[in-house]
Amino acid sequence: MIKTSHIAGASMRSAAPLQDWTASETAAAVNSRTVSCESVVRACLDHIAEREAQVMAWEYLNPDQVIAQARALDAAGVSGALAGVPFGIKDIIDTSDMPTQMGSPIYKGHRPKGDAACVALSRKAGGILLGKTVTTEFANRHPGKTHNPFDFARTPGGSSSGSAAAVGAHMVPLAIGTQTTASTIRPASFCGTFGYRPTHGDLRCVGVKEASGTLDTLGLFARSVEDIALYRDVLTGSAPVPITEPPAPLRVGFCRTHLWSQLEPHTQSLIEDAAQGLARAGCKVEDVALPADFERVEDAHRWVSSFEFSRNFTWEIENHWDEISETLRNNRLKDGLACSFDHYREARNLLAHCRGLLDPVFEKYDVLINAPATGEAPVGLNQTGNASVCVIWTSMHVPAMTLPLFKGPNHLPIGLQLIARRNNDRGLFSAARRIWQTLS
Protein backbone atom coordinates (compact mmCIF):
# COMPACT_ATOMS: atom_id res chain seq x y z
CA MET A 1 0.00 0.00 0.00
CA ILE A 2 1.26 3.47 -0.85
CA LYS A 3 1.25 5.81 2.12
CA THR A 4 -0.15 9.11 0.97
CA SER A 5 -0.31 10.96 4.24
CA HIS A 6 2.89 12.87 3.59
CA ILE A 7 1.99 14.52 0.36
CA ALA A 8 4.47 16.49 -1.68
CA GLY A 9 3.72 20.20 -1.86
CA ALA A 10 1.56 20.43 1.23
CA SER A 11 2.93 22.56 4.02
CA MET A 12 2.23 20.49 7.12
CA ARG A 13 0.93 22.11 10.29
CA SER A 14 2.16 19.17 12.26
CA ALA A 15 4.90 16.62 12.01
CA ALA A 16 2.39 13.88 12.76
CA PRO A 17 0.77 11.86 9.97
CA LEU A 18 -2.46 13.41 8.73
CA GLN A 19 -4.69 10.75 10.27
CA ASP A 20 -3.36 11.75 13.70
CA TRP A 21 -4.33 15.40 13.38
CA THR A 22 -7.27 16.72 15.32
CA ALA A 23 -10.32 17.97 13.45
CA SER A 24 -9.42 21.55 14.35
CA GLU A 25 -5.93 21.18 12.89
CA THR A 26 -7.22 19.57 9.72
CA ALA A 27 -9.93 22.16 9.16
CA ALA A 28 -7.43 24.99 9.64
CA ALA A 29 -5.05 23.43 7.12
CA VAL A 30 -7.77 22.75 4.56
CA ASN A 31 -9.26 26.21 4.96
CA SER A 32 -5.83 27.74 4.35
CA ARG A 33 -5.28 25.38 1.37
CA THR A 34 -2.10 23.92 2.86
CA VAL A 35 -3.60 20.43 2.83
CA SER A 36 -6.09 18.95 0.39
CA CYS A 37 -9.22 17.05 1.37
CA GLU A 38 -8.04 14.18 -0.78
CA SER A 39 -4.76 13.87 1.11
CA VAL A 40 -6.62 13.85 4.42
CA VAL A 41 -9.07 11.15 3.46
CA ARG A 42 -6.35 9.06 1.80
CA ALA A 43 -4.35 9.15 5.03
CA CYS A 44 -7.38 7.96 6.99
CA LEU A 45 -8.31 5.33 4.41
CA ASP A 46 -4.77 3.96 4.38
CA HIS A 47 -4.72 3.79 8.15
CA ILE A 48 -8.11 2.06 8.14
CA ALA A 49 -6.78 -0.44 5.58
CA GLU A 50 -4.00 -1.28 8.03
CA ARG A 51 -6.17 -1.65 11.11
CA GLU A 52 -9.69 -2.61 10.06
CA ALA A 53 -9.09 -6.35 9.84
CA GLN A 54 -8.53 -6.42 13.59
CA VAL A 55 -10.72 -3.56 14.80
CA MET A 56 -13.75 -3.98 12.49
CA ALA A 57 -15.11 -0.53 13.28
CA TRP A 58 -16.92 -0.02 9.97
CA GLU A 59 -20.25 -1.33 8.79
CA TYR A 60 -19.98 0.47 5.46
CA LEU A 61 -16.98 2.19 3.92
CA ASN A 62 -16.47 2.81 0.21
CA PRO A 63 -13.02 4.34 -0.42
CA ASP A 64 -13.81 5.30 -4.01
CA GLN A 65 -16.93 7.18 -2.94
CA VAL A 66 -15.00 8.99 -0.20
CA ILE A 67 -12.13 9.97 -2.49
CA ALA A 68 -14.57 11.23 -5.12
CA GLN A 69 -16.29 13.40 -2.50
CA ALA A 70 -12.95 14.72 -1.26
CA ARG A 71 -11.88 15.62 -4.79
CA ALA A 72 -15.18 17.40 -5.38
CA LEU A 73 -14.66 19.45 -2.22
CA ASP A 74 -11.09 20.29 -3.26
CA ALA A 75 -12.33 21.35 -6.70
CA ALA A 76 -15.06 23.51 -5.15
CA GLY A 77 -12.61 25.13 -2.72
CA VAL A 78 -14.39 23.95 0.39
CA SER A 79 -14.35 26.10 3.50
CA GLY A 80 -16.05 25.73 6.85
CA ALA A 81 -15.59 24.72 10.45
CA LEU A 82 -15.06 21.08 9.43
CA ALA A 83 -13.47 21.70 6.02
CA GLY A 84 -11.99 18.43 4.88
CA VAL A 85 -12.50 16.71 8.22
CA PRO A 86 -13.41 13.03 7.89
CA PHE A 87 -16.10 11.80 10.24
CA GLY A 88 -17.85 8.51 10.91
CA ILE A 89 -21.41 7.98 12.03
CA LYS A 90 -23.15 5.19 13.88
CA ASP A 91 -25.21 3.00 11.60
CA ILE A 92 -28.53 3.93 13.21
CA ILE A 93 -28.15 7.40 11.63
CA ASP A 94 -29.68 7.99 8.20
CA THR A 95 -27.56 8.71 5.14
CA SER A 96 -28.81 9.44 1.64
CA ASP A 97 -25.82 7.87 -0.09
CA MET A 98 -24.90 4.94 2.14
CA PRO A 99 -26.94 2.07 3.63
CA THR A 100 -28.29 2.40 7.17
CA GLN A 101 -28.61 -1.06 8.61
CA MET A 102 -29.10 -0.50 12.36
CA GLY A 103 -27.08 -3.57 13.35
CA SER A 104 -30.14 -5.64 12.43
CA PRO A 105 -30.92 -8.06 9.60
CA ILE A 106 -34.31 -6.36 9.36
CA TYR A 107 -32.61 -3.32 7.82
CA LYS A 108 -30.15 -5.16 5.58
CA GLY A 109 -29.49 -2.99 2.54
CA HIS A 110 -31.85 -0.24 3.75
CA ARG A 111 -31.29 3.10 2.00
CA PRO A 112 -32.96 6.13 3.60
CA LYS A 113 -34.21 9.01 1.51
CA GLY A 114 -32.15 11.75 3.13
CA ASP A 115 -29.34 12.52 5.55
CA ALA A 116 -30.04 12.83 9.26
CA ALA A 117 -29.84 16.42 10.49
CA CYS A 118 -26.47 15.78 12.17
CA VAL A 119 -25.00 14.38 8.94
CA ALA A 120 -26.32 17.26 6.85
CA LEU A 121 -24.98 19.82 9.36
CA SER A 122 -21.56 18.10 9.33
CA ARG A 123 -21.46 18.13 5.55
CA LYS A 124 -22.66 21.73 5.42
CA ALA A 125 -19.61 22.63 7.53
CA GLY A 126 -17.31 20.94 5.03
CA GLY A 127 -16.95 17.57 6.75
CA ILE A 128 -16.46 14.39 4.72
CA LEU A 129 -18.53 11.40 5.74
CA LEU A 130 -16.12 8.50 5.63
CA GLY A 131 -18.61 5.75 6.35
CA LYS A 132 -20.99 4.09 8.75
CA THR A 133 -19.64 2.72 12.01
CA VAL A 134 -20.78 -0.49 13.66
CA THR A 135 -23.63 -0.28 16.14
CA THR A 136 -25.07 -2.90 18.43
CA GLU A 137 -28.51 -4.03 17.26
CA PHE A 138 -30.71 -0.90 17.32
CA ALA A 139 -28.25 0.73 19.74
CA ASN A 140 -29.21 -1.81 22.37
CA ARG A 141 -27.06 -4.57 23.88
CA HIS A 142 -26.63 -7.23 21.19
CA PRO A 143 -23.06 -6.57 20.00
CA GLY A 144 -21.71 -6.03 16.51
CA LYS A 145 -18.39 -7.23 15.15
CA THR A 146 -16.11 -4.47 16.50
CA HIS A 147 -13.08 -5.25 18.69
CA ASN A 148 -11.39 -2.96 21.17
CA PRO A 149 -8.49 -1.31 19.31
CA PHE A 150 -6.26 -1.66 22.36
CA ASP A 151 -6.93 -5.38 22.94
CA PHE A 152 -8.77 -7.32 20.27
CA ALA A 153 -10.05 -9.84 22.80
CA ARG A 154 -12.02 -7.14 24.58
CA THR A 155 -15.24 -5.26 23.86
CA PRO A 156 -15.02 -1.69 22.55
CA GLY A 157 -18.11 -1.03 24.67
CA GLY A 158 -21.46 -0.20 23.17
CA SER A 159 -23.74 0.72 21.75
CA SER A 160 -21.65 3.20 19.71
CA SER A 161 -18.98 0.53 19.33
CA GLY A 162 -17.63 1.39 15.90
CA SER A 163 -17.62 5.15 16.45
CA ALA A 164 -15.55 4.79 19.62
CA ALA A 165 -13.17 2.24 18.11
CA ALA A 166 -12.70 4.25 14.90
CA VAL A 167 -11.70 7.39 16.79
CA GLY A 168 -9.65 5.39 19.32
CA ALA A 169 -7.76 3.67 16.50
CA HIS A 170 -7.08 7.03 14.77
CA MET A 171 -9.07 5.98 11.73
CA VAL A 172 -11.04 9.21 11.85
CA PRO A 173 -10.79 12.30 14.09
CA LEU A 174 -14.53 12.66 14.73
CA ALA A 175 -17.47 10.32 15.03
CA ILE A 176 -21.09 10.53 16.07
CA GLY A 177 -22.82 7.97 18.26
CA THR A 178 -25.82 8.13 20.54
CA GLN A 179 -26.50 7.59 24.23
CA THR A 180 -29.62 6.21 25.93
CA THR A 181 -27.81 4.61 28.86
CA ALA A 182 -24.00 4.66 28.57
CA SER A 183 -23.56 4.25 24.82
CA THR A 184 -21.11 7.09 24.26
CA ILE A 185 -19.32 7.66 27.57
CA ARG A 186 -18.56 3.99 28.25
CA PRO A 187 -17.13 3.07 24.81
CA ALA A 188 -15.16 6.32 24.76
CA SER A 189 -13.58 5.28 28.06
CA PHE A 190 -12.88 1.77 26.79
CA CYS A 191 -11.39 3.03 23.52
CA GLY A 192 -9.30 5.89 24.89
CA THR A 193 -11.16 8.79 23.29
CA PHE A 194 -12.85 11.93 24.47
CA GLY A 195 -16.57 11.25 24.60
CA TYR A 196 -19.33 13.80 25.06
CA ARG A 197 -23.00 13.48 25.82
CA PRO A 198 -24.79 16.85 25.41
CA THR A 199 -27.63 18.35 27.40
CA HIS A 200 -30.73 16.40 26.37
CA GLY A 201 -32.54 18.13 23.53
CA ASP A 202 -29.68 20.36 22.34
CA LEU A 203 -28.56 18.36 19.30
CA ARG A 204 -31.24 17.39 16.79
CA CYS A 205 -31.95 13.66 16.47
CA VAL A 206 -33.98 13.79 13.23
CA GLY A 207 -32.98 10.82 11.10
CA VAL A 208 -31.57 8.89 14.05
CA LYS A 209 -33.40 5.69 15.01
CA GLU A 210 -35.00 6.43 18.37
CA ALA A 211 -34.51 4.02 21.24
CA SER A 212 -36.10 6.08 24.02
CA GLY A 213 -36.85 9.72 23.31
CA THR A 214 -36.94 10.69 26.99
CA LEU A 215 -33.29 9.63 27.26
CA ASP A 216 -31.71 9.62 23.79
CA THR A 217 -29.10 12.14 22.72
CA LEU A 218 -26.38 12.18 20.14
CA GLY A 219 -22.89 11.47 21.46
CA LEU A 220 -19.61 12.76 20.07
CA PHE A 221 -16.19 11.11 19.93
CA ALA A 222 -13.00 13.07 19.32
CA ARG A 223 -9.36 13.29 20.28
CA SER A 224 -9.43 16.67 22.05
CA VAL A 225 -11.75 18.83 24.14
CA GLU A 226 -11.45 21.53 21.49
CA ASP A 227 -12.71 19.17 18.79
CA ILE A 228 -15.71 18.25 20.90
CA ALA A 229 -16.56 21.94 21.39
CA LEU A 230 -16.05 22.62 17.69
CA TYR A 231 -18.29 19.74 16.63
CA ARG A 232 -21.02 20.72 19.03
CA ASP A 233 -21.11 24.22 17.55
CA VAL A 234 -21.37 22.72 14.06
CA LEU A 235 -24.24 20.49 15.16
CA THR A 236 -26.18 23.38 16.69
CA GLY A 237 -25.77 25.21 13.38
CA SER A 238 -23.59 27.86 15.03
CA ALA A 239 -20.31 29.55 14.21
CA PRO A 240 -17.63 28.00 16.46
CA VAL A 241 -16.53 30.01 19.48
CA PRO A 242 -13.43 29.36 21.60
CA ILE A 243 -13.58 27.60 24.94
CA THR A 244 -13.47 30.13 27.77
CA GLU A 245 -11.43 29.99 30.96
CA PRO A 246 -13.21 28.29 33.87
CA PRO A 247 -13.91 30.02 37.19
CA ALA A 248 -10.97 30.16 39.61
CA PRO A 249 -10.78 28.18 41.72
CA LEU A 250 -12.65 25.48 39.84
CA ARG A 251 -15.22 23.94 42.18
CA VAL A 252 -15.17 20.17 41.73
CA GLY A 253 -17.68 17.85 43.37
CA PHE A 254 -16.43 14.28 43.77
CA CYS A 255 -19.66 12.34 43.41
CA ARG A 256 -19.15 8.65 44.03
CA THR A 257 -22.91 7.87 44.13
CA HIS A 258 -24.32 4.72 45.74
CA LEU A 259 -22.89 2.71 42.82
CA TRP A 260 -19.27 3.30 43.86
CA SER A 261 -18.86 -0.27 45.08
CA GLN A 262 -19.47 -1.54 41.53
CA LEU A 263 -16.19 0.04 40.40
CA GLU A 264 -13.08 -2.12 40.29
CA PRO A 265 -10.70 -1.18 43.15
CA HIS A 266 -8.07 0.00 40.68
CA THR A 267 -10.57 2.34 39.06
CA GLN A 268 -11.66 3.67 42.44
CA SER A 269 -8.02 4.49 43.19
CA LEU A 270 -7.56 6.26 39.85
CA ILE A 271 -10.60 8.49 40.37
CA GLU A 272 -9.60 9.21 43.98
CA ASP A 273 -6.09 10.08 42.85
CA ALA A 274 -7.55 12.39 40.22
CA ALA A 275 -9.60 14.18 42.88
CA GLN A 276 -6.49 14.63 45.00
CA GLY A 277 -4.49 15.78 42.00
CA LEU A 278 -7.08 18.45 41.23
CA ALA A 279 -7.04 19.61 44.85
CA ARG A 280 -3.24 19.87 44.80
CA ALA A 281 -3.50 21.93 41.62
CA GLY A 282 -5.72 24.48 43.34
CA CYS A 283 -9.21 23.25 42.55
CA LYS A 284 -11.75 23.30 45.35
CA VAL A 285 -12.62 19.60 45.63
CA GLU A 286 -15.35 18.29 47.91
CA ASP A 287 -17.24 15.03 48.29
CA VAL A 288 -20.84 15.26 47.13
CA ALA A 289 -23.61 12.91 48.19
CA LEU A 290 -26.81 12.79 46.20
CA PRO A 291 -30.24 12.61 47.87
CA ALA A 292 -31.55 9.10 48.57
CA ASP A 293 -34.10 9.36 45.75
CA PHE A 294 -31.23 8.89 43.29
CA GLU A 295 -30.94 5.27 44.39
CA ARG A 296 -34.21 4.69 42.50
CA VAL A 297 -32.98 6.24 39.25
CA GLU A 298 -31.45 3.08 37.79
CA ASP A 299 -34.71 1.18 38.17
CA ALA A 300 -36.75 4.08 36.77
CA HIS A 301 -34.38 4.38 33.81
CA ARG A 302 -34.92 0.71 33.09
CA TRP A 303 -38.70 1.10 32.87
CA VAL A 304 -38.68 4.36 30.95
CA SER A 305 -36.22 3.08 28.35
CA SER A 306 -37.87 -0.34 28.06
CA PHE A 307 -41.41 1.01 27.79
CA GLU A 308 -40.50 3.52 25.11
CA PHE A 309 -38.27 1.09 23.21
CA SER A 310 -40.98 -1.58 23.12
CA ARG A 311 -43.55 0.86 21.69
CA ASN A 312 -41.09 2.51 19.30
CA PHE A 313 -40.27 -0.82 17.70
CA THR A 314 -43.85 -2.03 17.27
CA TRP A 315 -43.46 -2.36 13.49
CA GLU A 316 -40.34 -4.49 13.86
CA ILE A 317 -41.90 -6.58 16.64
CA GLU A 318 -45.11 -7.23 14.72
CA ASN A 319 -43.49 -7.93 11.36
CA HIS A 320 -39.94 -9.16 12.02
CA TRP A 321 -39.93 -10.82 15.43
CA ASP A 322 -37.80 -13.72 14.20
CA GLU A 323 -35.07 -11.35 13.08
CA ILE A 324 -34.73 -9.72 16.51
CA SER A 325 -31.94 -11.07 18.72
CA GLU A 326 -32.69 -13.17 21.77
CA THR A 327 -30.80 -10.57 23.80
CA LEU A 328 -33.18 -7.82 22.75
CA ARG A 329 -36.31 -9.97 22.99
CA ASN A 330 -35.52 -11.32 26.45
CA ASN A 331 -34.42 -8.10 28.08
CA ARG A 332 -35.47 -4.68 26.79
CA LEU A 333 -38.55 -5.88 24.90
CA LYS A 334 -39.70 -8.32 27.56
CA ASP A 335 -39.43 -5.61 30.20
CA GLY A 336 -41.07 -3.00 28.02
CA LEU A 337 -44.00 -5.06 26.83
CA ALA A 338 -44.74 -6.06 30.44
CA CYS A 339 -44.60 -2.44 31.67
CA SER A 340 -47.89 -0.60 32.03
CA PHE A 341 -48.28 3.02 31.02
CA ASP A 342 -48.92 4.00 34.64
CA HIS A 343 -45.72 2.31 35.81
CA TYR A 344 -43.82 3.98 32.98
CA ARG A 345 -45.20 7.41 33.83
CA GLU A 346 -44.37 6.95 37.50
CA ALA A 347 -40.79 6.12 36.53
CA ARG A 348 -40.63 9.08 34.15
CA ASN A 349 -41.92 11.36 36.88
CA LEU A 350 -39.24 10.11 39.29
CA LEU A 351 -36.55 11.06 36.79
CA ALA A 352 -38.07 14.53 36.37
CA HIS A 353 -38.24 14.89 40.15
CA CYS A 354 -34.55 13.99 40.52
CA ARG A 355 -33.58 16.47 37.80
CA GLY A 356 -35.06 19.14 40.02
CA LEU A 357 -33.02 17.84 42.96
CA LEU A 358 -29.77 17.93 40.98
CA ASP A 359 -29.98 21.54 39.83
CA PRO A 360 -29.16 23.02 43.29
CA VAL A 361 -26.06 20.79 43.55
CA PHE A 362 -24.56 22.83 40.73
CA GLU A 363 -24.90 26.02 42.70
CA LYS A 364 -21.91 24.77 44.72
CA TYR A 365 -19.94 23.00 41.97
CA ASP A 366 -18.88 23.86 38.44
CA VAL A 367 -18.44 20.22 37.61
CA LEU A 368 -18.87 16.80 39.19
CA ILE A 369 -16.38 13.98 38.66
CA ASN A 370 -16.89 10.24 38.65
CA ALA A 371 -15.87 7.21 36.60
CA PRO A 372 -17.24 6.70 33.06
CA ALA A 373 -17.26 2.91 33.50
CA THR A 374 -16.55 0.39 36.24
CA GLY A 375 -13.06 -0.36 34.91
CA GLU A 376 -11.16 -1.27 31.77
CA ALA A 377 -12.98 -2.87 28.87
CA PRO A 378 -13.83 -6.43 29.91
CA VAL A 379 -12.66 -9.47 27.99
CA GLY A 380 -15.16 -10.89 25.53
CA LEU A 381 -17.07 -9.61 22.51
CA ASN A 382 -20.45 -11.03 23.47
CA GLN A 383 -21.31 -8.09 25.77
CA THR A 384 -20.51 -4.40 26.05
CA GLY A 385 -19.69 -4.01 29.74
CA ASN A 386 -21.41 -2.60 32.83
CA ALA A 387 -23.43 0.55 32.07
CA SER A 388 -24.67 1.39 35.53
CA VAL A 389 -22.37 4.29 36.44
CA CYS A 390 -23.68 6.35 33.51
CA VAL A 391 -27.37 5.77 34.16
CA ILE A 392 -27.89 8.56 36.68
CA TRP A 393 -26.27 11.23 34.50
CA THR A 394 -28.03 10.15 31.33
CA SER A 395 -31.36 10.20 33.13
CA MET A 396 -30.68 13.68 34.53
CA HIS A 397 -30.30 15.20 31.02
CA VAL A 398 -26.99 16.78 32.10
CA PRO A 399 -23.99 17.19 29.81
CA ALA A 400 -21.11 14.79 30.46
CA MET A 401 -17.65 14.19 29.06
CA THR A 402 -15.04 11.51 29.56
CA LEU A 403 -11.34 12.40 29.29
CA PRO A 404 -8.92 9.60 28.29
CA LEU A 405 -6.58 10.19 31.22
CA PHE A 406 -5.70 6.83 32.74
CA LYS A 407 -4.51 3.29 32.12
CA GLY A 408 -5.81 0.33 34.08
CA PRO A 409 -4.00 -2.74 35.41
CA ASN A 410 -3.84 -4.19 31.88
CA HIS A 411 -2.56 -0.89 30.45
CA LEU A 412 -5.93 -0.28 28.80
CA PRO A 413 -7.68 3.11 28.73
CA ILE A 414 -9.90 4.40 31.52
CA GLY A 415 -11.43 7.85 31.45
CA LEU A 416 -12.47 10.44 34.00
CA GLN A 417 -16.12 11.48 33.65
CA LEU A 418 -17.10 15.10 34.18
CA ILE A 419 -20.70 16.20 34.60
CA ALA A 420 -22.07 19.74 34.45
CA ARG A 421 -25.42 21.37 34.98
CA ARG A 422 -28.13 21.07 32.33
CA ASN A 423 -27.61 23.75 29.67
CA ASN A 424 -24.06 24.40 30.85
CA ASP A 425 -22.26 22.48 28.13
CA ARG A 426 -19.83 25.33 27.58
CA GLY A 427 -19.00 25.37 31.27
CA LEU A 428 -18.32 21.65 30.95
CA PHE A 429 -15.87 22.34 28.13
CA SER A 430 -14.07 25.02 30.16
CA ALA A 431 -13.67 22.67 33.11
CA ALA A 432 -12.73 19.74 30.88
CA ARG A 433 -9.92 21.61 29.19
CA ARG A 434 -8.54 22.80 32.54
CA ILE A 435 -8.76 19.34 34.09
CA TRP A 436 -7.17 17.77 31.02
CA GLN A 437 -4.31 20.26 31.19
CA THR A 438 -3.91 19.61 34.91
CA LEU A 439 -3.97 15.82 34.94
CA SER A 440 -2.68 14.67 31.56
> What string marks each residue from 26 to 65 as x (binds a copy of itself by CB under 8 A) or -?
----------------------------------------
**Beta strand pairing call for 86-90 and 174-179:** parallel
CA-to-CA distance for 314 and 345, rounded, in angstroms? 19
Q: Which of 122, 159, 306, 388 is catalytic?
A: 159
Residue 214, interface with a copy of itself (CB under 8 A)?
A: yes
Interface region with a copy of itself, contact rule CB under 8 A, candidates 203-211, 250-258, 321-329, 402-410: 203-211
Classify the C-alpha dihedral 322-327-328-333 as positive or negative: positive
In degrees, rounded to 5, the angle at the alpha carbon of residue 16 between the alpha carbons of residues 13 and 21 is 70
| DSSP-assigned states of every residue in 37-77 | HHHHHHHHHHHHHHHHHHH--EEEE-HHHHHHHHHHHHHHT
Spatial contact of 382 and 424, defined as CB atoms under 8 Å apart: no
Q: Which of 206, 379 has the CB closer to a copy of itself?
A: 206
- Could you tell me the smallest distance in angstroms from the CB atom of residue 341 to a copy of itself? 4
Query: Using the rule CB under 8 A, is 314 a contact of a copy of itself?
Result: yes
Question: Judged by CB, which is closer to a copy of itself: 84, or 253?
Answer: 84
Spatial strand order in the sheet of 284-287: 58-61, 128-133, 86-90, 174-179, 217-222, 194-197, 400-407, 413-419, 367-370, 251-254, 284-287
Q: Which is nearer to a copy of itself, 16 or 72 (CB)?
A: 72
Active-site residue (options: 104, 183, 212, 395): 183
159 is catalytic: yes
Site for a copy of itself in 360-419 (CB under 8 A): none
Q: What is the DSSP letter of 331?
A: I
**Any contact of residue 312 with a copy of itself (CB under 8 A)?**
yes
**Cis bond leading into 360, ω under 30°?**
no
Q: What is the Cα–Cα distance from 109 to 325, expressed in whole angstroms?
A: 18
Q: Note whether 210 binds a copy of itself by CB under 8 A.
A: yes
Q: Choose which of 150, 231, 303, 313 interacts with a copy of itself (CB under 8 A).
A: 313
The catalytically annotated residue of 5, 24, 39, 90 is: 90
Please name the amino acid found at residue 348: R
Q: How far apart are CA 246 and CA 251, in angstroms?
A: 10
Is the separation of the CB atoms in 231 and 23 below 8 Å? yes
Q: d(Cα 177, Cα 92) in Å, to the nearest integer?
A: 9
Name which of 314, 315, 322 is nearest 105 in CA terms.
Answer: 322
Show the binding pattern over residues 83-122: x = contacts a copy of itself (CB under 8 A), - = does not.
Answer: -------------x----------x--x-xxxxxx-xxx-
- Binding string to a copy of itself for residues 333 to 362, with x set by CB under 8 A, is what? ----x--xx---x--xx-------------
User: Among 3, 16, 53, 213, which residue interacts with a copy of itself (rule: CB under 8 A)?
Assistant: 213
Q: Does 123 bind a copy of itself (CB under 8 A)?
A: yes
For residue 424, state whether it binds a copy of itself (rule: CB under 8 A). Answer: no
Least CB distance to a copy of itself at residue 114 (A): 4
Q: Which residue number, 269 or 349, has a Cβ lying nearer to a copy of itself?
A: 349
For the segment 238-257, give every residue that binds a copy of itself (CB under 8 A): 238
Find the shortest distance in angstroms from Cβ 15 to a copy of itself. Answer: 36
Tell me if 153 contacts a copy of itself by CB under 8 A.
no
Tell me the CA end-to-end span of the chain in Å, nearest whole number. Answer: 35
Across-strand partners of 403? Answer: 416
Q: What is the DSSP string of 135-162?
A: -SGGGSSS--S--BTTBTTB---SSSHH
Q: Give the side-chain half-sphere CA count within 13 A for 12.
A: 14
User: Is-contact 163 130, C-beta < 8 A?
Assistant: no
160 is catalytic: no
Residue of 236, 327, 331, 438 that binds a copy of itself (CB under 8 A): 236
Shortest spacing between CB 357 and a copy of itself, in angstroms: 14
* Pick 79 or 423: Cβ nearer a copy of itself: 423
Active site residues: 90, 159, 183
Residues that bind a copy of itself (CB under 8 A): 96, 107, 110, 112-117, 119-121, 123-124, 201-202, 204-207, 210, 213-214, 236-238, 308, 310-319, 337, 340-341, 345, 348-349, 423
